[in-house]
Amino acid sequence: MSSMINNLGTKLFKSVTDKAGDLGDKFESEFSRLSQNITAEVDSIVTEVISLSAFIKFTLVILCVLLIFAIIRLGAFGWRCIFYKAKSWLKVDENRPPPQVILLMPTENGHYRRSSLVYTDQQTKNILDRLERDSLEIFNEYDSPPKKTSVTPLKTREAPPPPTPPKPQSLRIGKDVG
């Protein structure tokens, strides 16, 4: 029984090695044919390039040099743009002042006046709460609290009126104007 298994294993191993050998031979022949075809194509391309006239070679060299210069120029322009943007992005936080709050305080005559202090965002919440309490106390001290609709707006710079067009002058034909 063991000799039968040995014979079967030997026959199986022999058939696998025969098939692998056949496949290896086929691969070798196909690979050598492919490499010969590639070599023939490269030889024909090299022959065509060598046979080009001097004018065409010179033109190709000039075009390649111009292409390289264009790539360098556009690359440098792109880098300049990127550096400019990066510099402006970095300076945005440096140049931005902290946010400010200007308060309007109620007065006796029912109008509002600007507070003398300008508060930045760190102080704003606590100070606004305190001023709101203080202003409610001020309102309660007066006989009649000021109207909330009588807020005087801050003066803004108005645009100058548009210039009036000059009046047309009548022209007299044939007479001297002295």
Q: List, as one string, the DSSP characters of 48-111.
A: HHHHS-HHHHHHHHHHHHHHHHHHHHHHHHHHHHHHHHHHHHHHHHHHPPPPEEEEEEE-TTS-
Mean pLDDT confidence for 15-43: 88
Alpha helices in 117-173 (DSSP H): 121-141
Residue 23 in this model has a pLDDT that exceeds 80? yes
102 close to 118: Cβ distance less than 8 angstroms: yes
pLDDT at 21: 85
Q: Which residue, 74, 76, 135, 73, is CA-closest to 103?
A: 135
121 within 8 A of 98, measured Cβ to Cβ: yes
- Cβ-contact 118, 101 below 8 angstroms: yes
- 165-178 mean pLDDT: 54
The pLDDT value given to residue 103: 66
Q: What is the pTM of this model?
A: 0.25
Q: List pLDDT tens digits, range 37-50.
A: 999 998 888 888 77
The count of other CB atoms within 10 Å of the CB of residue 124 is 14
d(CA 83, CA 77): 10
What are the Cα distances from residue 30, in Å, to 33, 40, 91? 5, 15, 65
